[in-house]
Amino acid sequence: MAIKTGGGFLNEINVTPFVDVMLVLLIIFMVTAPLMTQGVEVDLPATRTVKNLPRDAEHLVLTIKKDGSIFLDEYQVNEDELQDHLTRLVAAQKKQLFLRADEAVAYGTVVRVMGEIKAAGIDRLGIVAQELRDETGQKKK
């Protein structure tokens, strides 16, 4: 199909505006994607075998920072309200829960949080750690 202009027929589609829009969308995606994956910073304990966290939206991450503060994904939660939030957001929606705790967190704090997780009706819990590496940064076997 040709388009008639003042001086004749135009046989080509002008794709320049389409390419401009796509480049702008690509830049926006490239800038915002890393921001969406950032969470609460903790120093994870190291172990020999580590699996990657799934990238789907069917899981939540519970983080305990060095100072004992608790976060459900990026939102801070009081220990008193933790069981209610876990029941509503994890158990009721049948999502999987992963626990990330800073290696400096007291064992008693982790056990208390795990008790709240169990009381919320969550039977399956993943523990997040980082790979054990030597001084040169190589993975230990």
- Let me know the angle formed at the C-alpha of 21 by 20 and 23, rounded to the nearest 5 degrees: 65
CATH number (domain holding residue 102):
3.30.420.270
pLDDT band with cut points at 50, 70 and 90 for residue 55: low
Question: Does residue 136 sit within a domain?
Answer: no
**Number of separate domains in the chain:** 2
pLDDT band with cut points at 50, 70 and 90 for residue 3: low
pTM: 0.60
Give residue 34's identity as a one-letter amino acid code: P
Question: Does residue 59 sit within a domain?
Answer: yes
* One domain, residues 88 and 125: yes
Question: Does residue 141 sit within a domain?
Answer: no
Q: What is the dihedral of CA 55, 114, 83, 91, to 10 degrees?
A: 50
Which DSSP letter does residue 45 get? -
* One domain, residues 105 and 78: yes
* One domain, residues 51 and 104: yes
Question: Which domain range does residue 124 map to?
Answer: 46-131
